[in-house]
Chains A and B, each alone.
Chain A
Amino acid sequence: MTLQQYLLYIVSPIICLALIIIFIRFLKGPKVVDRVIAIDLIITSGVGLIGVFCIIYDIPSFLDVATILALIAFLSTIAFAYYIDQGDKNGKR
């Protein structure tokens, strides 16, 4: 079993299973903040999946996408936190 086959048939299904479990939490989440951290975790796991794909297909250019995704995860969490905080001050949720 070569390295590419190992990554393709064992490691990436584990990450995909993790993504499915996180998505169930995203659908169930009782509050908005649960969904926000579920989205954060989905994007962070996506960075890991992109790293695995880099090794499988031998293309290092995918790491640029991983950089942008890591930035978007941070910005989206901060933006949602600011939005929920401001909405609470005006009496809405």
Chain B
Amino acid sequence: MSEILIMVLCTLGALFILIAALGIYRMPDFYTRLSVTVKASTLGVGCILGAVAIYFYDFSVSTKVFAIIFFLFITSPVAAYMISRTAYLSGVKLWKGSVVDELQNSEYLKDGEPTASKPEQPKPNDQIPPSL
């Protein structure tokens, strides 16, 4: 009985990892690639490590597995947030079919840095009056 459960969990995990790989290969944009990758791969690795914990049925192995799953579930959204923020600040363009860009006119971007989609408007303080 537990063998069937292990087989099902491992197959689900491998299929989720394959879906993540297809997503990172086929998606048109950096942000959509990131959005597919993080969720699917985290869930797939979680399924496989759960299968490991069921197979060994040992306290030390279960503790290690729980530590790895907890670490992955905590850190992968943080890493995705950091790398997407860096990508937006460094000028990676959105896909042309993207609907909304909420950071376009936001104060979140630092002063003076060029944005991704369109350059910032010149500030009124910087303009020198042409005729004196």
Listed in ascending order, the chain A residues whose CB lies under 8 Å from chain B are: 3, 6-7, 10-12, 14-15, 17-19, 21-22, 24-25, 31, 33-34, 36-38, 40-41, 44-45, 47-48, 51-52, 54-55, 60, 63-64, 66-67, 70-71, 73-74, 77-78, 80-82, 84-85, 88, 93
Contact = CB atoms under 8 A, between A and B. Distances in A.
Nearest to B24: A25
A11 B10 contact: yes
If over half of B's interface residues share one DSSP class (helix, strand or loop), that class is named, otherwise mixed; here it is: helix
10 contacts: A7-B7, A21-B25, A33-B87, A41-B41, A45-B41, A51-B45, A60-B61, A74-B76, A81-B86, A88-B90
Contacts of A38: 24
Given A41-B20, A41-B41, A74-B76, A25 B90 contact: no
Contacts of B48: 48, 51-52
If over half of A's interface residues share one DSSP class (helix, strand or loop), that class is named, otherwise mixed; here it is: helix
A21 B14 contact: no
Interface string B75-105: 1101110110111011010000000000000
Interface residues of B, number: 52
B53 to A, nearest CB: 9
A17 B33 contact: no
